[in-house]
Amino acid sequence: MPTSPFGVEVKITGRITDKRLGVEVVAATGKGLRELATIEGQGAVQKQLYPGHGFISGHLFKHIGAALVGPLTAQFDAGANRYKKNLVYAGSVEARYNMFGKAYDALKGSPDLWKRYIGPYLMKVFSK
């Protein structure tokens, strides 16, 4: 019995093939990253500043902020983004209390946080 070659083609169609999708995914991820850095990064550092624990006048507390600094990069700092430089004494407070280090470690070890903040924005992109 002679056999003949055959092939099966599987083709994906729809939203996933849209050339603009990559740009929209990056933008959506950026929105989620900014929220993550603001709420979980900036917020975590500020919660660690209180009288007797790095908080004297509130100046450092007010300088801590978060921003999207690149397409897929968010940053929380002691003024570098908003004021173009960190507060001079922020380094000595960080050396003593490790507020930024603790906030970073909490983010790094919590993939569920990443899903919570970035996931909804990605769902909006893919559900259009």
Please check whether residue 8 lies inside any domain of the structure.
Answer: no
| Amino acid present at 28 | A
Please check whether residue 87 lies inside any domain of the structure.
Answer: yes
Contact 46, 128 (CB under 8 A): no
Contact 113, 36 (CB under 8 A): yes
Q: Measuring CA to CA, how many Å separate 44 from each of 49, 61, 82?
A: 9, 11, 18
Please check whether residue 5 lies inside any domain of the structure.
Answer: no
What is the Cα–Cα distance from 123 to 37, expressed in whole angstroms? Answer: 20
- State pTM to two decimals: 0.80
Using DSSP's 3-state secondary structure scheme, residue 116 falls into helix
Note down the domain range covering 78.
17-126
Number of domains into which the chain is organized:
1
Please check whether residue 11 lies inside any domain of the structure.
Answer: no
Mean pLDDT by 10 residues, the chain (128 residues): 66 76 92 95 94 90 93 92 90 94 92 94 89
Please check whether residue 73 lies inside any domain of the structure.
Answer: yes
Please check whether residue 119 lies inside any domain of the structure.
Answer: yes
